Structure 1
Amino acid sequence: MKLAIGDVVRDRSDMALGTVIGVTSQTGGNLVAFYVSSHTVRLGEPDRLDVVARHTKPPTKARRVLALIAFSLALLAAFLGGHSARETGADWPLTSLASLGGYMAVAMTYHWGGRLTGPRRFHV
């Protein structure tokens, strides 16, 4: 199970909901520390926890602008790939694949950049 600080988990033993605040290692294995609504911190075994919700931050204005720029660059790459394939005499299937390849090259770069800079998940 991979968790991040701020994920919401439910303990199966008594169905208590809590927010993950960390992990501690014991001799018997790792325990997940989570904050419950009764203003207490509880420890639970990872195999007895269910992930209810993942913690995500709302996108900032800079990230929204970056997404718009990445989308515009992806459309430009798709156009250039398709146009250059068409000018070399390619038929429509190859032109479509060249356009899709140009779009996906930029889109996947943006996607993996977001994954690398996103919240860290740790394995418990």
Structure 2
Amino acid sequence: MQLTLGDVARSREDITLGTVAGIADHGEGKLVVLRLPNGGLSFVEPCSLVVVGRYAPPASTRRSVVALVFLGFALLVAYISCRSAEDLGADWLLTLFAGLGGFKVVALAYQCWARLTGPRRFRV
């Protein structure tokens, strides 16, 4: 199971709901630390934990600008791919697939960037 700080999780043992605050290590294994709504802490074994919601960081202005830049670049690459395929004498279907392929290459680059700069997940 992969968790990040801020994920909302529930314990199967005593039905406590809280956010993941970290990992505590003891002699027999690891325990997940849940921060409860009343301010207390609860230590739960990873096997008895159910993830209710994932933490999503709020979109910053910088991240939104990067997304728009990638979108504009992807549209430019798709246009260039379509024009190149058309100039080589491709049919309309091959031209369409060339444009989709060019767009997808840039979209994959954006997804990789977003995954690398997103919240860190740790294995429990």
TM bracket (short chain): over 0.9
- Is 2:43 the counterpart of 1:43? yes
Percent of paired sites with the same residue: 44
What's the TM-score, normalizing by structure 2?
A: 0.95
- Measure, in 1, the Cα distance between the counterparts of 2:117 and 2:60: 14
Q: Over the residues paired in the alignment, what is the CA RMSD in angstroms? A: 0.9
Aligned residue pairs total 124
- Is 2:67 the counterpart of 1:67? yes
Deviation at 1:93, TM superposition (A): 2.0
Structure 1 runs (4+) greater than 3 angstroms displaced: none
- Measure, in 2, the Cα distance between the counterparts of 1:29 and 1:16: 21
> Which residue of 2 is the match for residue 24 of structure 1?
24
Deviation at 1:27, TM superposition (A): 2.4
Give, as a single letter, the amino acid of the residue that structure 2 aligns with 1:47.
C
Q: Could you report, residue by residue, the CA deviation over 1:23-76 in whole angstroms, capped at 9, with x for unpaired residues?
A: 122222211011112221111001111111111111111111111111111011
Deviation at 1:96, TM superposition (A): 1.3
What's the TM-score, normalizing by structure 1?
A: 0.95
Give, as a single letter, the amino acid of the residue that structure 2 aligns with 1:73.
F
5+ long unaligned stretches in structure 1: none
Give, as a single letter, the amino acid of the residue that structure 1 aligns with 2:9.
V
